[in-house]
Amino acid sequence: MAAVSEAAQSPEAVGLPTAFRPRTGTMESWNAAYVRVEDYLRAHRVHNRLHQSRLIQKILERAARRHEANPALDPTTLAAEETEGMMDDWFAEVLDEKGMPHDRLAVDGRVALLLSDGPERWPYAFLEGENIPEDFRKAMRSSNLEAGPDLAVSSMVPRPIDLGMITGAAGETLERFEKWPAMRALFLWLVFASALAGIFYMTR
């Protein structure tokens, strides 16, 4: 029974890389982390199975070292954080944007990756730490420059708003009403009388 149980909990039995043997956490939790990283790579169009396996094992090994130091953490969360961290470092290196904040790197890197069609043209280059093809690096950087907006310096001088002759006449009329309350009252009575006359005409 012990042999059956051990085989059922082996990494290959739950889909994990055979060389990946974490010291902490259950195989089920690490398998969930594996699936999350695999889905994340697929979302970035990394469909090459061999390259996927290499990247997933590298990410899970880094997550497992952190989990060993703090077993209370969730393996899936650790794997997601390691994936984001690796991508930030890789985008900063490829795009030569070291020191940029995470949000900027995440946007610039993904847009450049999409425009350059990197995962399709260079299937083994994504998240590769060494031996990045120079043509891939150039394609990423040129795509990043094309995606950026052109900056233009302009000066805006405040100008008076022209509301036309009608609004000007209305403003003058209101000013006169403020000066002569009797005229304002007469105008209101005229409006009221006109409204009554209109109602009488329409209903008779």
Return the CA Rg of the chain. Answer: 35
- Give the model's pLDDT for residue 173: 61
Identify whether the C-beta of residue 135 lies closer than 8 Å to the C-beta of residue 129.
Answer: no
d(CA 62, CA 27) in angstroms, rounded, equals 16
Q: Helices then strands (H, E): number in the chain?
A: 9, 0
Query: pTM for the whole thing?
Result: 0.61
Q: What is the pLDDT of residues 98-149, one digit of tens each?
A: 888 888 888 999 999 999 998 889 988 999 877 788 999 999 998 876 555 5
Q: What is the pLDDT of residues 50-81, one digit of tens each?
A: 999 999 999 999 999 999 999 999 999 999 99
Q: What is the pLDDT of residues 28-45, one digit of tens each?
A: 999 999 999 999 999 999
Domain-by-domain residue ranges, the chain? 11-147, 167-197
Residue in 50, 79, 55, 49 with CA at minimum distance from that of residue 67: 79
Is 147 buried (19+), middle (13-18) or exposed (0-12) by CB count in 10 A? middle
Identify whether the C-beta of residue 78 lies closer than 8 Å to the C-beta of residue 60.
Answer: no
